[in-house]
Amino acid sequence: MTRQSHSYLALGDSYTIGESLPLFDSFPYQTVQLLRNQGFHFNAPEIIAKTGWATFELAKKLRHTTLQAPYDFVTLLIGVNNQYRNLLPAKYQNEFKFLLKKAIHLSADKPTHVVVLSIPDYSVTPFAFTRNPQKISGEIDQFNRVNMALTKKCGANYIDITISSRQAANDLSLIADDTLHPSAKEYAKWAGLLAIKLAPLILVRG
């Protein structure tokens, strides 16, 4: 395995920081641990994310933050709060496009070293039971069509975690105690998918 230490920047919202859980249970930290277990050397992930952030808030933070770029790998998971606040998909499209371009720039302009994760579907959580779950689910699908199309257009990687998140409808162990966010068990599934995506890129990069 490679001896070089790799850097990883995770951009997003509450799903990226692992809201209501210890930071090491978040998917970026679990991903790094999985890759370390495979013999790859990784620095601790750097995370720029905050609970409640929509795309424009992440964009604002990035515009006013000096980062130690380039990063070997960058992930982007953002949009649930755009849906929650009833912000328009067209606005999301424009802002997500900026964020994706920024993520690619931060990865030394290597689209293949950027991974976009789809927006999870919180309509299956107890939190959403009285909030029109069908409407939530449909709107999340709409936002995901936007981020998937933009990701494919620029040549970055895409991981659909929405399907996995919907399994919580029949398994409450996949939901954190706050009745809204994923549990460490669910994040572990995302981390597994991400590690599978990153490992070949590490070997190619050497």
The separation between the first and the last C-alpha atoms of the chain, rounded to the nearest angstrom, is: 9
pLDDT greater than 80 at residue 33: yes
State residue 2's pLDDT score: 46
pLDDT tens digits for range 53-97: 999 999 999 999 999 889 999 999 999 999 999 999 999 999 999
- How is the chain split into domains, by residue range? 5-205
Percent with pLDDT over 90 in the chain: 95
3-state secondary structure of 94: helix
Residue 206 has pLDDT above 60, yes or no: no
DSSP string, 140-183: HHHHHHHHHHHHHHHT-EEE--HHHHGGGGG-GGGB-TTSSSBP
Q: By percentage, how much of the chain surpasses pLDDT 70?
A: 97
User: Does position 205 have pLDDT exceeding 70, yes or no?
Assistant: no
Nearest to 116 by CA among 20, 190, 205, 30: 190
* CATH class, range 5-205: alpha beta
